[in-house]
A and B are shown apart, each in its own frame.
Chain A
């Protein structure tokens, strides 16, 4: 690029406007493609938009911190979105109250297994301590997982990557696997997907049915809380 065009590029590439807009466009494009492909699990909107944005950054030689400077306005909303989970939790409070014992037992078991298996498998296969600790909270929703990772000595931004990969993988294989297991209840499918793969899984669960989506959101919220309690305790125990 030369002359005037080059100047414009240099100016825009350094401003949040460009990267914020591109993030929104990439996501909308990815959603469009996903819809065209009839929501094929592999055409996951997060996977597609992340891949597309990485390609753009590579081609334009843009360092990630410059990109994130703009995209952080989107990232920031993870905080209020976590708070907003109180609303679906409340809306299903009655069902939650009726099923509370099975849900609580499953939550504790699933949450502990998610963290222990992630840490254990990685450690057994020779991962560094930092990477294994960064993997432990991978099933929790991103702001929670990053907060936990920081507390226990992981690398928060590496955890963010693992959270996204876990979410995408769970969203891609979740429904298929649960149907193979003979699981027909949408509430149970949703709960398993949300506990395992947080918000990205919840977006997938809403495609099954509103009930699956609600239970997925419920599991995501509860697993966030449970992981935030269990993982620091587990890490503390490992250190003694």
Chain B
């Protein structure tokens, strides 16, 4: 587990260094994720400890959002001031995105399946 955690941090570090060095427009951890994915594809498999640690971290993903979420208390005055555009943007934007994503993917997936020869 310690080795796997070190590996995750190393890839994040490599991502951060690349982002800084090349002035990339993406956050460091995302570049780290892309690098790790590339390594896994090249290697052709996930080492068991890495798979265990990654799945462990990801199964508790929700708690990682809690400290940032509590920060809502800092912005209560601002949220009250602009509550209508904020609530509308969050609610309508989310409903719209959920709907469009599901419908587009379903339509495209059906078309793809229709084209494939059935066994």
Binding site for B on A (CB under 8 A): 23-24, 26-27, 45-46, 49-50, 53-54, 57-58, 64, 67-68, 71-72, 74-75, 77-91, 93, 99, 101-103, 105-106, 109-110, 113-114, 117-119, 121-128, 131-132, 135, 138-139, 142-144, 146-148, 151, 157-158, 160-167, 169-170, 173-174, 177-178, 181, 183, 185, 188-189, 191-193, 195-197, 199-200, 202-203, 206, 217, 219, 221, 224-225, 228-229, 232-233
Contact = CB atoms under 8 A, between A and B. Distances in A.
Contact of B46 (A67, A85, A90, A113): A90
Q: When A and B form their complex, which 3 residue pairs have the shortest distance between CB atoms, in order from nearest?
A: A147-B27, A102-B108, A71-B67
22 contacts: A49-B63, A50-B72, A74-B67, A78-B65, A83-B11, A83-B29, A88-B54, A90-B46, A99-B112, A121-B85, A125-B84, A131-B78, A135-B89, A142-B68, A144-B27, A147-B27, A169-B91, A188-B105, A189-B102, A192-B101, A196-B94, A228-B26
Contacts of B57: 77, 80-81, 84
Contacts of A74: 63-64, 66-67
Interface in B30-59: 30, 32-34, 36-37, 40-41, 46, 50-51, 53-55, 57-59
Q: What's the dominant secondary structure at chain A's contact region?
A: helix
Contacts of B64: 74-75, 77-78, 81, 142, 199
A170 B69 contact: no
B92 A143 contact: no
B38 to A, nearest CB: 9
A79 B40 contact: no
Given A54-B70, A146-B27, A191-B105, 5 more contacts: A23-B67, A64-B70, A106-B105, A174-B98, A188-B106
